Amino acid sequence: MPSFDIVSKVDPQVLDNAVNVTKKEVTNRFDFKDSPVKIELNKKDSKIDLEAESDMKVKQIIDVLISRSMKQGLDPLAFDISKEPYPSGKVTKMEVPVRNGLKQEDAKKVVKLIKDSGLKVQVQIMDDLVRVTAKKIDDLQAVIKLCGEASLGIALQYINMRS
């Protein structure tokens, strides 16, 4: 039976490239001349530490990071920018966690969406992925389209398509 997996993963190399391109662009920008800026990727904790002299500059760095990440092929929903920047001495800091892996509650949202659609597919949660199985590949493609159009607030990828 045809099947595929729904996951939410960020390729660490692509993320590293996006952060490096962001660093390069920010250091070359005129409005960041002679201002303390720090952009560091913490691969172990899967988060990006940002530091600049004002709240506005931190938000500009985030805009550059998201636009450069999109050009690298990363979904902007992979970044959790819900936290506000906070002042720390003379600089303003912000931690941007990178969502990696499908959490249990997010997997349940995906399963509920698929089951409510009425498509003839079987859905099961397996650790940090959701496996979708059907008799026809057309049903699987309908699931991919359904998940792509739904605004779940998470970045989804579709892997391991088997027929």
H-type alpha helices, 73-153: 104-117, 137-149
Q: State the pTM of this model.
A: 0.83
**pLDDT tens per residue across span 45-100:** 889 999 999 999 999 999 999 999 999 999 899 999 888 999 988 899 999 999 88
Tens-digit pLDDT profile for residues 111-134:
999 999 988 999 999 988 899 999
Burial class from Cβ neighbours inside 10 Å (0-12, 13-18, 19+) for residue 73 reads exposed
Contacts of 69 (CB under 8 A, 6+ apart): 15, 18, 22, 76, 78, 79
What domains can be seen in the chain, in order of their start residue?
Answer: 3-8+101-162 (3.30.70.860), 12-97 (3.30.70.990)
